[in-house]
A = this chain, B = another copy of it.
Amino acid sequence: MSAPSIDVLGIGNAIVDVIAHADDAFLDAQSMPKGGMALIDEERAEAIYEAMGAGIQASGGSAGNTIAGIASLGGKAGYIGKVKADPLGHVFTHDLRAMGVHFDTPAATEGPATARCLILVTADAQRTMNTFLGACVNLTPDDIDEQIVASAGITYLEGYLFDPPHAKEAFRKAARIARDAGRKVALSLSDSFCVARYRDEFRALIDEHIDILFANEDEIMALYESDLDTAIAAVSKSAGIAAITLGAKGSMIVSGSERIAVPVAHVSQVVDTTGAGDLYAAGVLHGLSRGLPLAECGRLGSIAAGEIISHFGARPETPLASLIG
């Protein structure tokens, strides 16, 4: 097996975020469960946009954020995801390539527009997301470049990929190629509603295919329909490594019978938690791709997550390589 030419390859829904402040009354009026991610159609996206406050736009997407984090940490990063050849697609593509990420999935020339996620950030720094999947529904197995996947040390898949109709097949194809090439496969459970939608498939997938699993407490409990301790015991028998984020309590990395408690990084002001889990995954994956001890991987995850929650938006503003010491 040759040395990987890409450290971490992310495959996910390619999304541009529109981020604005909102209050709890707005979430209530719009029937948005706080902290969740809802799938919406274009008409609803337009209606929410009209109702929401002034905001900023920034490239996003869960795996896209993670991959931007890998590049920012100094790793060799690649991405597969589907935009449309429209202004937002141009922005998404620019932002990854400008960070040195290998990204050449062909943009769709017809069909729905590039995906948008309308993110409402409340005063408690929590984010509530509304995703119009747009062009992401056009990601198919044909977009999975076998050579790229086989050359990546770790292929990282977001659970949200199960939502667009054909992306699930693309997901499975990528996981198969990676395993056949003797590479590692990582999965993020994305959110607890996503877990509820695809619980059985996720559990089977983790048993068969997944070397590194990322989840928060809600997601891991939703996966096993149990309390946290039971879920951790279950996942330790299923995935090779599981990294469970615990909000302000930090995270826990589980590997067989090992349990490593990872503290959060100090942050002077928490502004917007969008992307916290994505950047935590970036730090951990970067450490794993470098063969670092698990505790050190966790430390990198905490530092990357700490940077992202200190400002609006889910892509690093400060080069993460300058923060990891």
Contact = CB atoms under 8 A, between A and B. Distances in A.
Interface of A: 20-21, 49-50, 52-59, 68, 86-88, 91, 94-96, 98-99, 268, 311-313, 315, 317
Given A49-B94, A54-B99, A57-B57, 6 more contacts: A53-B99, A54-B59, A54-B315, A55-B58, A56-B312, A312-B312
Contacts of A57: 56-58, 91
A311 B19 CA distance: 14
A317 B94 contact: no
User: Which of A50, A88, A94 has the most B CB atoms < 10 Å from its CB?
Assistant: A94
Contacts of A96: 54
Contacts of A68: 54
A99 B55 CA distance: 10
A9 to B, nearest CB: 18
A68 to B, nearest CB: 7
B313 A53 contact: no
B313 A54 contact: no
A62 B21 CA distance: 22
> How many monomers of this protein are in the complex?
2
Contact of A56 (B50, B58, B88, B99): B58
Contact of A87 (B52, B87, B268): B87
A312 B311 contact: yes
Return the 10 tightest CB-CB contacts between A and B, nearest first: A54-B95, A57-B57, A56-B58, A54-B98, A53-B98, A87-B87, A56-B56, A54-B99, A56-B313, A54-B315
Contact of A94 (B21, B54, B87, B312): B54
Contacts of A94: 49-50, 54
Contacts of A87: 86-88
A48 to B, nearest CB: 11
25 contacts: A20-B98, A21-B317, A50-B94, A52-B98, A53-B98, A54-B59, A54-B68, A54-B95, A54-B96, A54-B98, A54-B99, A54-B315, A56-B56, A56-B57, A56-B312, A56-B313, A57-B58, A57-B91, A86-B87, A87-B87, A87-B88, A268-B268, A311-B311, A312-B312, A312-B317
A26 to B, nearest CB: 11
A57 B19 CA distance: 11
Contacts of A311: 311-312
A88 B49 CA distance: 14
Contacts of A52: 98
